[in-house]
Amino acid sequence: MIEVLLLALVVLGFSLFSAVAGRSFVTAPIVFTLVGIAVGSEGLGLFDLDLESEAVSVLVEATLVLVLFTDAVRIDLGALRRDAWLPGRLLGIGLPLMVVLGTGAALLVVPGLSLAEAALLAAVLAPTDAALGQAVVSDQRLPVRLRQGLNVESGLNDGIMVPVVTVLLALAVVEEGGPDDLAGFVARQLGFGLGAGLLCGLGAGWLLHRRYVAGAVDGVFRQLGVLSIAAAAYSGAELVDGNGFVAAFVAGLAFGRVARDSGEAVVDFTEDEGQLLTAATFLVFGALFAGSALASATWASLGYALVSLVVVRTLAVLVALWRSGTMLETRLFAGWFGPRGLASILFALLVLDEVGGEAGETIFVTATVTILVSVVAHGVTANAWTARLASRLAGAGQDQPETSASEEMPSRWASRPDAPDSGA
């Protein structure tokens, strides 16, 4: 019970100073992670949970399910097609290149990993987290087009990487002596995940929307019904040996298609629940993941963290935005602000559970160290570099591709009436 009390006190304490923190280099993930380290197993020892306990897995999985679902619901495919060049380049060129470069870096820097295991480490760290870059994607000083590009990238890349991680995880497990039916396993994971997502998102989403239009659904249960669609997609896929995270993301896309006019309040409620779970996840990450990983960290894991954050992502984005007409500083900015967060935490936990052995431990520790460095480094630098780039782009006028007119961004932050102001 002390874990719940600690979470409540940290949430309350941060809430009291959240507006001030939003204008500084102190972000919520930094606070929750550092408090977690202080009270965790390597600190005061107040967290009586085990890293491999079911409660930890349920928390992280539930958080990622809600984030995947709500991110997918927010995607307006029509608007995205009208102004897709920036996120399209980042996802279509940059994301695969990050995995390729990250794999090569892992083979060079981290000893003892096979090709599949090195690729798995790169894939675990490929998704970015908009929550860690909130000061960037919500800062009105930056052009809409740039903020939208980074926000859409972070909203889509975790869902895109779920099947990639699933396949690479299966390959790594086979190398460790797991099941031989790799093709069948992957087909079931992706096929049943896709099917469960479509069934719940289209079927249940359409039914809930029609009943709401008919006046048969109370407002509170309309919100709870949306939560239940995400949960049903995940659990239904898992029951038939499918991938629940693929199902949650596909269900969100399908629900957004058939019930987009259901109103912002429904999705906002789901996002608010997700934010509370995200806060709890970063506290648990600090207490159980980061503390033990720091105790086991090596120069190789720290070196890979720096290479992954500074070189791999930046180089991939520079290639993706080559000949885009954007300023060099814009491309460097987009390359730097690719923070690793929630999806990578969950993927790292899956690696620890499924791969096992020395390879699983190495991937877990390296990924955890990278996420920890990202939480601090990206949080501390967000406001300062955002202000600098905004000033330079304002002086460049409307001729730059990143500053020209664009549709207003369908952001999980900026589209809300209570969207946080990062100091604009």
Which of 171, 259, 170 lies closest to 209 in space, CA to CA?
259
Label residue 111 exposed, middle or buried (CB < 10 Å: 0-12, 13-18, 19+).
Answer: exposed
User: Which residue bears the tokens 């429904």?
Assistant: 266
On whether the CB atoms of residues 247 and 239 are closer than 8 A, the answer is no
- The three-state secondary structure class of 253 is helix
Token pair, residue 222, equals 């309309």
**pLDDT score, position 418:** 40
Look at the pTM and tell me if it is higher than 0.85. no
Output the CA torsion sign for 86, 92, 95, 100. negative
- For the chain, report the end-to-end CA distance as a whole number of angstroms: 40
**pLDDT score, position 335:** 92
| Regions in the chain scoring below 70 on pLDDT | 22, 52, 76-83, 130-131, 133-135, 138, 175-182, 260-272, 274, 396-424
The CATH number fitting domain 25-396, selected from 1.10.10.10, 1.10.3720.10, 1.20.1530.20, 2.60.40.10: 1.20.1530.20
Which DSSP letter does residue 281 get? H
**pLDDT score, position 409:** 45
On whether the CB atoms of residues 215 and 165 are closer than 8 A, the answer is no
**pLDDT score, position 304:** 97
In this structure, the number of other CB atoms found within 10 A of the CB of residue 183 comes to 9
**pLDDT score, position 101:** 97
On whether the CB atoms of residues 363 and 117 are closer than 8 A, the answer is yes
pLDDT digit string, tens, across residues 265-307: 556 666 667 678 888 889 999 998 898 888 888 999 999 999 9
**pLDDT score, position 261:** 60
pLDDT digit string, tens, across residues 107-153: 999 999 999 999 999 999 999 886 676 667 767 778 777 877 887 78
On whether the CB atoms of residues 213 and 159 are closer than 8 A, the answer is no
**pLDDT score, position 76:** 65
Helix (H) or strand (E) holding 399: none
